[in-house]
Amino acid sequence: MSDKEHRYSDTLWRLYQRPAPPQPWVDGGNLPWNEPAFAQRMLKEHLDQSHGAASRVAAERELQIDWLRDKLEVTVGDQMLDMTCGPGLYAVEFARQGCQVTGVDFSPSAIAYARDFAERQGVSASCSFLEQDVRTATFAPAWYDASLFLYGQLAVFRREEASALLQEIAKALKPGARLVIELLNQERVDKGHSSWWFTDDKGLWGDRPFLHLGERTWLAEEKIAVEEFTIIDLETADSIEINLSDQTYAAPEMEQMLRAAGFSAVDVYEQWDGLPLYDASEWIVYVAWK
């Protein structure tokens, strides 16, 4: 067999011998958001207005921002912390509306875009974008008036990490300040098992011919969805394997975690409180008060 045939064969045997059920959080349990080439390709998805898979499209974001401003009661001069801010699409708008915003994200391309976007919008003096893993970021105590944690990213962390993060955010907020967290509604999460494949030569998974193999498993006891992807470069036979784990929470459990982290009250909004977002029915939004 040639080297290339060996590589194909190794990949397929590894796939055949994969643990079943899968182990969550193997190899990080997240997409490689902070890997430079992937981050660059992902940035295109964030900005693509034909879908809302990475960031919601502009028209939906505007509705969300109005809702968030109302629920967070932010006013001019308020300090806002945007956890996993991506390319700053929310942060820069809040800065345009008079907030001082700190955005944290570990994607180099997203942070570079956010800084440039703030500059282009004339609000770079009101924005600070940190390229950092939110799990290791620390903040000045009792400094912020409001915080965002949007599009389900708290769920990609293990329960202990999520609790520690909530505590860190609570510490960073002033008394009376609020945090908005958006998480998938556990009741509506797909609890089936599925597998799929497709080929392409462009997009998120690469810019050469590749085969993408995917499998989704619901771990009923732990309430975790695990997606496993194998992407095989058909020119080189190199492959990458990605394990994407999503911890889901029942609403009472999340409320309890928020209180344990230091929040005194929690409001729960199903389906984005009726906002007409394309996937609103899949989400619960928590507004937690320090």
Ligand X SMILES: C[S@@+](CC[C@H](N)C(=O)[O-])C[C@H]1O[C@@H](n2cnc3c(N)ncnc32)[C@H](O)[C@@H]1O
The correct pick among 110, 118, 166, 232 for binding ligand X (CB under 6 A) is 110
| 30 part of the interface to ligand X, by CB under 6 A | yes
Distance of CA 235 to the CA centre of its chain: 31
Q: Which of 11, 24, 29, 55 binds ligand X (CB under 6 A)?
A: 55
Exactly one of 80, 95, 101, 134 binds ligand X (CB under 6 A); that residue is 134
Is 120 one of the binding residues for ligand X (CB under 6 A)?
no
The order of strands in the sheet holding 224-233 is: 194-200, 210-219, 224-233, 239-247
Query: Pairing state of beta strands 265-270 and 283-289?
Result: antiparallel
Which residue's Cβ lies closest to ligand X? 86
- Cα–Cα distance, 261 to 169 (Å, whole number): 9
Among 73, 133, 187, 235, indicate the residue that binds ligand X (CB under 6 A): 133
Tell me the residue ranges of DSSP E strands in 194-252: 194-200, 210-219, 224-233, 239-247
Q: Using an 8 Å Cβ cutoff, are 248 and 184 in contact?
A: yes
Q: What is the residue type of 145?
A: D
Q: Which is nearer to ligand X, 11 or 178 (CB)?
A: 178
Candidates 74, 89, 179, 242; binder of ligand X (CB under 6 A) is: 89
Q: Enter the DSSP assignment of 256.
A: H
Does 163 help bind ligand X (rule: CB under 6 A)?
no
Of 16-24, 83-91, 219-227, 231-239, which segment contacts ligand X by CB under 6 A? 83-91
Considering only residues 120, 135, 193, 202, which one is a binding residue for ligand X as defined by CB under 6 A?
Answer: 135
How are the residues of the chain apportioned to helix, strand and coil, as percentages rounded to the nearest 5?
35, 30, 35
CA–CA gap between residue 90 and residue 262 (Å, rounded): 25
Region binding ligand X by CB under 6 A among candidate stretches 132-140, 166-174, 185-193, 230-238: 132-140
Binding to ligand X by residue 10, rule CB under 6 A?
A: no
Per CB under 6 A, residues contacting ligand X are 30, 33, 54-55, 84-86, 89, 105-107, 110, 133-135, 150-151, 153, 156
